[in-house]
Amino acid sequence: MIQSSWHKSLGLDELDEGRVKSVAIGRYTLCMTHYDGQYGALDNHCPHQGGPLGEGSIENGHLRCPWHGWDYCPLTGKAPGYDDGVEAFPVEVRDDGVYVELPDEQPHVRTISDLMMETMVNWDVKWVFGMVGHSNLGVADAVRLQEESGKLTYIGIRHEAAASFACSAYGKLTGRPAACLAIAGPGATNLLTGLWDANVDRSPVVALCGQVNTQVLGPGAFQEVDLAAAFGKVAPWAQSVLPSSNHAELMNLACKKAMINRGVTQLIFPDEVASLPAPEESEAGSPDGRMGLKTITPAEEAIDDAVNRLQSARRPIIIVGHGARFQMDNVVAFAESINAPVMTTFKGKGLIADNHPLACGVLGRSGTPIASWFMNEADCILVLGASFSDHTGISTKKPLIQVDLDQDMLGKFHAVDLPIWGELGITSRILSERLNGNGSAIDQRPEIVERWKIWRAEKERRLNDQRGRGLNSASVFRSLTDLVPDDAILPVDVGNNTYSFGRYFECHRQAVLMSGYLGSIGFAYPAALGAWAATQEVGTPFHGRKVVSISGDGGFGQYMAELTTAVKYKMNITHILLNNNELGKISKEQRSGGWHVWQTSLSNPDFAEYANACGAIGIFVREPAELDNAIAKALDHNGPSLVAIETDADLV
């Protein structure tokens, strides 16, 4: 027998005669009515389309559904002239209010979504970024249960692209997937930009997408989008969750594919399927026995060839890309063993500290003259975890040895002299052992010292460049170099602000995150949300580290609402905003291409006041003398802060 209890639903003077009202009691939503001197309590959902009866009205003695005009008795819930109606619950008027008798809540029935979220947690997915909506409520409730049990954390964002960017940044930083959650239609399609960023930069992400009911899928229902087609190549592995699916195995595969392919996987949950009961005694999946080690040792003949080339080189150099992020200890030890200068691609900035005796900074468009000088002087280039895209600036006119864990990256854009398939750390260690300090290489460290002196002197001269139109970028990044914690995590955006960061900011132990191949403006602040998530994980290398994101006004304007997300979850993020009221990089490209500068100006709010209005700390900087104190104050704040710096669009 189902037990029931009485609950107070209204005060005695709360609902006037002839009016209706929606009232939530526990998991029940009621339509409370006051008609003919009596109170009624009806199920709030019209049985035809689920219309909210509590938003309707009483007309001619009937309660009319606001969605399609169906009538019901306001006290009994019966539909006049028909056998159907809505459920009515017993009502009592007591001295202190109106009470309703409702069945006691029944124990939760484990659903398909519960089973799949349990499996996802077993794969060490700790974070879900997303937006809850009508077509993902079953999945969302399963996420809620996992969060309440302390097994994952949900972050509700303001735009779904921010969720996918946050996941992409988290994956780039940690090498592990986070999940993003969206509804059918526009919610899912909003994920696409951040997921493309993850796809092309090889970051693991699991996308959880709601979908319309299968019974209306096909003819063009409200918010119906063919999600498998829409996601296309962005999610090479994508599956719909069906009643007959092996549900734990689907999630096993989604997590496994995201990790081994270092990319995006997608699960599509039709609305009615997500809440179906899970098969009895079904067990959650896990990674046990599903993943092998990635310790791929290169072929012996490839190592022999590399050793011969490096032994005979007088001026070898090493170029590392983002793919070397997790193997840098071995890479640096190898470089030290052969005294090879080390430079990075822009995506790899910070993988070696700029104060290391062999560090030469960034190569390419956002780079330093130090790196380009040593590449031009080199007689053998060893490339580790980089792809040779046109932005890297790696010369194809020099003898090239390329090592990568991903065979597709070897010679991706053009042939190289020696492609080597292997894990970068293992390959570096083997080369170090085989060379054993023997070779023809000269010690290039004194030249590195001299080249840094030349570049730092030039940077010092640029500090004095002022035209009365805002601060120059050299000043901004000199202050950031001095003040940002050595182990901070730095998500950076796209534009002139990013080029200036690559040139002027000198890294120590900071971790840099960026939208590499996609080059998506707006990346920095959503990425900061994902980076902050990693700093909350006790026992990891990122725990407790400060997050400092950097963007221009064009990029921040795209996702500035996410500042309220940072406030809501008390995220310790400092944002540095270079504000020049212009899409400065585009203006520069228009000029260099002989075009008229057109439609690149921006109309901005006072970003500091905006930050304050959101509940963060906002500081506006207009003069060079204000810069250090403003940045220090923002960094010292334990929560979201923003420093809006008025900068000159041409002094980059």
Tell me the domain boundaries of the chain.
Answer: 4-103, 112-274, 300-447, 463-646
CA 235-241-246 angle, to 5 degrees, is: 110
Residue-wise pLDDT for 182-227, tens only, equals: 999 899 999 999 999 999 999 999 999 998 766 555 666 666 677 7
**How do residues 295-336 score in pLDDT, each as one tens digit?**
889 999 999 999 999 999 999 999 999 999 999 999 999 999
- In angstroms, rounded to a whole number, what is the distance separating the alpha carbons of residues 416 and 175? 28
What single-letter amino acid sits at 311?
Q
pLDDT for res 138: 96
**Is residue 513 within 8 Å of 501, Cβ to Cβ?**
no
Pick the range with the lowest mean pLDDT from 288-297, 390-399, 406-415, 480-489. 390-399
Q: pLDDT tens digits, residue range 254-278? A: 999 999 999 999 999 998 999 999 9
CATH fold label, 300-447: Rossmann fold (3.40.50)
Q: Which residue has tokens 């023809």?
A: 440
For residue 651, is pLDDT > 60? yes
pTM score, whole prediction? 0.92
What CATH homologous superfamily does 112-274 map to?
Thiamin diphosphate (ThDP)-binding fold, Pyr/PP domains (3.40.50.970)
pLDDT band at 122 (very low <50, low <70, confident <90, very high): very high
pLDDT digits (tens, 9 = 90+) for 485-539: 999 999 999 999 999 999 999 999 999 999 988 889 999 999 999 999 999 999 9
SS3 157: coil
Query: What pLDDT does 222 receive?
Result: 65
If one compares 317 and 294, the residue with the highest pLDDT of the two is: 317
Do 463-646 and 4-103 have the same topology in CATH? no
Q: Is the pLDDT of residue 142 over 80?
A: yes
Task: From the options 3.90.1150.10, 3.40.50.970, 3.40.1160.10, 1.10.1660.10, give the CATH code of 463-646.
Answer: 3.40.50.970
Rounded distance between C-alpha atoms, residue 214 and residue 195, angstroms: 25
The DSSP symbol for 582 reads: B
Report yes or no: 155 and 143 within 8 Å, Cβ to Cβ.
Answer: no
Confidence of residue 440 (pLDDT cuts 50, 70, 90): confident
The count of C-alpha atoms lying within 13 angstroms of the C-alpha of 152, restricted to the half-sphere facing its C-beta, is: 26
Residue 395 to residue 174: CA distance in whole angstroms: 30
- Report whether 393 contacts 340 (CB < 8 A): no
Residues 206 and 183: their CA atoms lie apart, in Å, by: 14
Tell me what pLDDT residue 50 has: 83
Q: Which tokens sit at 534?
A: 């990693």
Tell me what pLDDT residue 218 has: 60
Query: DSSP characters for 94-130?
Result: ETTEEEEEEEPPPPPPPBHHHHHHHHHHHTT--EEEE
- For 172, the enclosing helix (H) or strand (E) is helix 160-174
Task: Give kind and range of the element (H or E) at residue 303.
Answer: helix 300-312
Q: Point out which residues pair with 208 in neighbouring strands.
A: 181, 267
The highest-level CATH class for domain 4-103 is mainly beta
